[in-house]
Amino acid sequence: MAGFGDIVQKAFYLGVGIASVAQEKAGARLVELRSQAQKLADELVARGEMTTEEAKRMVDEFVIKAQQQTSNQPTSESQRSEPRRIEILSDDDSPSEQPLQAVDDLKAQVAKLQEELRRLQQ
């Protein structure tokens, strides 16, 4: 059983490593976003379209929004904390006649279109 303990330990360390890398990448992206927003704000201030206080507020708002988006949204389906919810619209187990009729109608339309296509190709 010592092998099983090693596997569990390695899996734990792998999870911690992945979380650490994800945090570093998120931090790097936030730094990049802040620098890009700062450049944009500096350019707007230089043109006289914005005051320095407005520019500072704008940069702070961009960074706060980016932080909220990264903290609120999981990066993938596998990282969700709870399972995806499925809504059951009908608890009828027997098929109704309407979907079968719709399928038959669609098949008839496809047959008509195929026949028209053959006629046009000749």
Dump pLDDT digits (tens) for 8-49.
888 888 888 888 888 888 788 878 888 888 888 888 888 888
Per-residue confidence (pLDDT) for residue 97, from 0 to 100: 58
pLDDT for 69:
73
Q: What's this model's pTM, rounded to 2 decimal places? A: 0.40
**Boundaries of every domain in the chain:** 2-74
44 contacts 53 by C-beta, under 8 angstroms = no
pLDDT in tens, 47-71: 888 788 888 888 888 778 877 776 6
Please check whether residue 83 is in contact with residue 58, taking contact to mean a CB–CB distance below 8 angstroms: no
List CB contacts of 31: < 8 A, sequence separation 6 or more: none
pLDDT of amino acid 94: 55
Burial 34-50 (b: 16+ CB within 10 A, else e): eeebbeebeeebeeeeb
Sequence-ordered list of residues with C-beta below 8 angstroms from that of 38, at least 6 positions apart, any chain: 59
Token pair, residue 28, equals 């790097």
Residue among 29, 51, 32 nearest 42 (CA)? 51
* Predicted pLDDT at 80: 59
The dihedral formed by the CA atoms of 38, 40, 44 and 46, expressed in degrees to the nearest 10: 70
On whether the CB atoms of residues 45 and 55 are closer than 8 A, the answer is yes
